[in-house]
Amino acid sequence: MTKAPEKNRIRRKDRILNAAEALFAKHGFEGVSMRMVADSAEVDLALASYHFGSKRGLFDAVLLRRAEVLNDLRLAALEKCQAEAGGNGPSVEAIIDAFLHPLLGEGLQADEGWLHYFELIAQVNSSYEWGGQLMTKYFDPLVRKFMEALKAALPDAEPQDFYWCYHFLSGALTLTMAHTGRIDQLSDGAVKSEDMVGAYERMVPFMAAGFKKMCEKG
C-alpha cells in the first residue's frame, strides 16, 4: 500500500489542469500540445484525453475550474460595497474598486495558479476567436450586475457612452493581467508589470475620472 493512494489519484487530474493552465496562458490554445501538457504534469500522454475527453475539453475544464470561485468573490465584493453605501448606493469609485480588487488585490495575486489563470483570461478576452463567446459564457451574469450598479451611480449616462467606458476599463484590466512585460521596457524598468497593487491603486481613480467625464452632465 502506497502512502495516501486516493489523494495521489486525484492529484493527477489537478496536476494536468495546473500544467495546462500555465501552458495555455503562455502559448494559447493552439500553441500547446497534449504532449507538452503531459510532460509538464509528469503524466502519461493518454491520461489527459481520458479525464477530459479532448484537448478542447481540457481547455474548457481549465477555464471553468476557477470561474465560479472568482465570480463568487467578485459578487461578494460588490454586495459588500453596496451594503456599506448609504441609500444613494455606492460611488463610481467604490464600484470600480469592487470590480478590480478581487483580481488585482493581494489575495489571489499571491497564488501562482491564479496568476496563470488571469493571464489566460486576458489572452482569451482579447482573442477574436474565443473572446466574444467564452467570456460571455463564463462571466456575463456577473459583469451585468456591476454594470447595473454603475448605471445607478451614473443616472444621466447615455448608453453608448456608458458601454464604451466599460469597454475601456475592461481593456485596461485585460492588458494589465496579461503581463507582457511591455510596460517594463517602455518605462526603462521604472514600472514592473507584475506590480498589480500599483496598477490597481491607479486604475481605480483613473477609470472613475473617465466614467464621470463621459457619463455625467455638465
Is there a contact between 76 and 70 (Cβ–Cβ < 8 Å)? no
Q: Which is nearer to DNA, 17 or 98 (CB)?
A: 17
Q: Which is nearer to DNA, 40 or 82 (CB)?
A: 40
* Residue whose entry in the numeric block shows the C-alpha cell 463568487: 72
* Residue whose entry in the numeric block shows the C-alpha cell 493552465: 21
Task: Rule CB under 7 A: say whether 33 interacts with DNA.
Answer: yes
Is there a contact between 193 and 183 (Cβ–Cβ < 8 Å)? yes
Q: Which of 119, 149, 150, 153 binds a second copy (CB under 8 A)?
A: 119
Task: Rule CB under 7 A: say whether 40 interacts with DNA.
Answer: no
Residue among 33, 40, 1 nearest 17 (CA): 40
Site string for DNA, 47-66 (x = CB under 7 A): x-xxx-xxxx----------
Task: Rule CB under 8 A: say whether 18 interacts with a second copy.
Answer: no
Task: Rule CB under 8 A: say whether 54 interacts with a second copy.
Answer: no
Helix, coil or strand: residue 149: helix
Q: Which of 14, 72, 140, 148 binds a second copy (CB under 8 A)?
A: 140
Task: Rule CB under 7 A: say whether 20 interacts with DNA.
Answer: no
Q: Which three cell numbers stand for residue 168?
A: 475601456
Residue among 79, 204, 209, 215 nearest 155 (CA): 215
Task: Tally the residues of the chain.
Answer: 218
Which residues would be at the binding site for a second copy (CB under 8 A)? Answer: 25-31, 119, 122-123, 125-129, 131-132, 135-136, 140, 143-144, 147, 159-161, 163-176, 178-187, 190-191, 198-199, 202-203, 205-214
